[in-house]
């Protein structure tokens, strides 16, 4: 099955900073998504982005399917952005990366 690698595993930033989270796939995937897991465990949908670029407020994402990677950009970070960010893709089943734990310091 495919492997999903997320980097960096941990990221500590000051409030107001920008960040880039990366997701690499070992093979072609479909239905790529980015999630933010809140402190209570719920996965919040950020982007459904099989290819191309999307933006939602301070967040944007780009997937280059031919090169098997996706990027999540967070601009002007706020403390509420803290948490774990996951990417996931599908071959015959959904595969999650191990996540990037983001800490935004006030």
Partner 1 sequence: KAGVTQTPRYLIKTRGQQVTLSCSPISGHRSVSWYQQTPGQGLQFLFEYFSETQRNKGNFPGRFSGRQFSNSRSEMNVSTLELGDSALYLCASSLWESGGEQYFGPGTRLTVT
24, 62, 88, 101: residue in contact with partner 1 (rule CB under 8 A): 88
Strands annotated E in the chain: 4-7, 10-14, 19-25, 30-37, 43-48, 52-56, 59-64, 69-74, 83-90, 94-96, 100-105
Which residue reads 């933006």 in tokens? 55
Which residue reads 């809140």 in tokens? 38
* Shortest Cβ 50–partner 1 spacing (Å): 10
Under the binding rule (CB under 8 A), the answer on residue 56 touching partner 1 is no
Under the binding rule (CB under 8 A), the answer on residue 40 touching partner 1 is yes
Q: Can you read off the two tokens belonging to residue 95? A: 């595969």
3, 18, 20, 30: residue in contact with partner 1 (rule CB under 8 A): 30
Q: Which residues contact partner 1 by CB under 8 A?
A: 30-31, 33, 35, 40-43, 45, 48, 86, 88, 90, 92-99
């Amino acid at each position: 099955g495919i492997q999903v690698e997320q980097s960096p595993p941990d990221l500590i930033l000051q409030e107001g900073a920008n960040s880039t989270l990366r997701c690499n796939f070992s093979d072609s995937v479909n239905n790529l998504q980015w999630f933010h897991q809140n402190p209570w465990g719920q996965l919040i949908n950020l982007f459904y982005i099989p290819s191309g670029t999307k933006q939602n407020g301070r967040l944007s994402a780009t997937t280059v399917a031919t090169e098997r990677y996706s990027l999540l950009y967070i601009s002007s970070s706020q403390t509420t952005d803290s948490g774990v960010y996951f990417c996931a893709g599908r071959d015959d089943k959904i595969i999650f990366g191990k996540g990037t734990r983001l800490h935004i310091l006030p």
